[in-house]
Amino acid sequence: MSATSILSSLSKINEKYQMFRTITSDTEVGEAKFLFSAKDNLTSKDMETCSGSKILEGYRPPFDATSIARMREAGGMLVGKTNMDEFGFGTFSTNSAFGVPRNPYGPERSCGGSSGGAACAAAVMEGHVAIGVSTGGSICCPASFCGVYGMVPTYGRVSRYGLLDYGNSLDKIGIISAKASDLGKYIGIMAGSDPKDPTSCMQPDMGARRKLKSVAVPKDATEGVSEDVRTAFINGLETLKSMGVDVATVEMPSLKYAIPAYYVIATSEASTNLARYCGMRYGHQEGDLSLKFDDYFTSFRSQYFGQEAKRRILLGTFTRMVGFRDRYYSKARMVRQSIIEEYRSVLGECDAVLTPTMPFVSPKFSDISKMTPLESYKADILTGPPNIAGMPHASVPCGYDRDGMPIGMQFVADQWDEGVLFSAAEEWEKNFESVRPEVSI
């Protein structure tokens, strides 16, 4: 299907899958070389940016995020902003104020979160490239649930300028696509230092591709995962061996502490980042202005923040309180350093660490509604460790369950060593038969 035909079909397909929050009004491609979408927490000067939240409805930024600007400069056309959990707070994209994206392999199931709309767009739109953002697993999780490739570069590889922050020390911008070769191609376009984001300014070159020769599998990698995921992962290991990749089992005991440490650090940073949304500078500006400051802010934020956003603000505020910072926040940072050191030790002996991406296939919305917040948080148990460590990682499809739902596995490489992940994903694609969703454009 031509790019022009895809543009003319966007609204119709979006009615069914709700993958976009905003769609371009253009129906002609013009001189654009490729089409791409961006997650709704990246600023774009010609489209509304809401980050999945009612509190930002109507916000039209006057500038592009650096990642979007570089894609445009390379000849890309931004076709829409993809739907997401409010400010990235979720694993299933069910916390958006603007509808819930539907999985193209089963509309009664989740696309994953928080870049759920991005993964759905990559799965159903032929040749599409979606920019996603990962804080604790928000690229690899939806890539796994939607049967596509997702790549998160090293923290700092892509400028965060123009990103509506969730957790400043955790947020990373990456790519989701149905083609493995797109990962290196488009991350290469977005990467590089940017004086507008100091965390992006000191970084080694991306370097040449390096063939994957060995992987390490943590001893507990399949503990607690579903039977379908375990079977697909073991089959994936056998396929890697047939490709000439050495597989070793290793002990990585600190990984099990990644989730509690992640939620302490992430919510602490989120609670400060969200303080700016008070009804005075961004999005909605309304209410009784005769109230005192605190009463006005409380009234406004209570009305427009969703339940999960309020939960994370309260949790983050608690862990930063005087008397609790050393008990929680400081300890979480120590755990983060231990995880980094453990990854580096293992990656000194092999090229990548390999685990399943998610412990189960995409759940039905009826099952998600019965989960407690803690059960939802635990779903990030395999994607949390590389994110808290800032390590580059990629999810590739590795199988399907009895209902045809996709299953993914996750490669983690050393910091700044994206080249081995690009090669691994592309070689894997040649040896794995993907099943595309029935509905595609």
Residues labelled catalytic = 39, 114, 138
In whole angstroms, give the CA distance from residue 306 to residue 85.
Answer: 10
Q: Going by DSSP bridges, is the β-strand pair 393-400/352-356 parallel, antiparallel, or unpaired?
A: unpaired
Strands 34-39 and 76-82 turn out to be: parallel
User: Is the CB of residue 45 less than 8 Å from the CB of residue 64?
Assistant: yes
The CA distance from 374 to 136, in Å, is: 15
- DSSP-derived secondary structure letter, 212: -
- Rounded Cα distance, 258 and 268, in Å: 15
Q: How far apart are CA 193 and CA 391, in angstroms?
A: 18
Angle, helices 258-273 vs 330-347, to 10°: value is 130
Q: How far is CA 111 from CA 186, 366, 425, in A?
A: 22, 14, 21
Q: Are strands 172-177 and 149-152 parallel, antiparallel or unpaired?
A: antiparallel
Look-up: residue for tokens 């989960």? 371
User: With contact defined as beta carbons under 8 Å apart, do 441 and 126 qualify?
Assistant: yes
Q: How distant is the alpha carbon of residue 426 from its chain centre? A: 20
Contact 423, 395 (CB under 8 A): no
Rounded to whole angstroms, what are the CA distances from 2 to 25, 72, 327? 17, 19, 57
Token pair recorded at residue 286: 């309304």
* Alpha-carbon span 88 to 168, nearest angstrom: 12
370: DSSP letter: T
Amino acid in the structure at residue 41: N
Distance from C-alpha of 42 to C-alpha of 32, rounded to nearest angstrom: 20
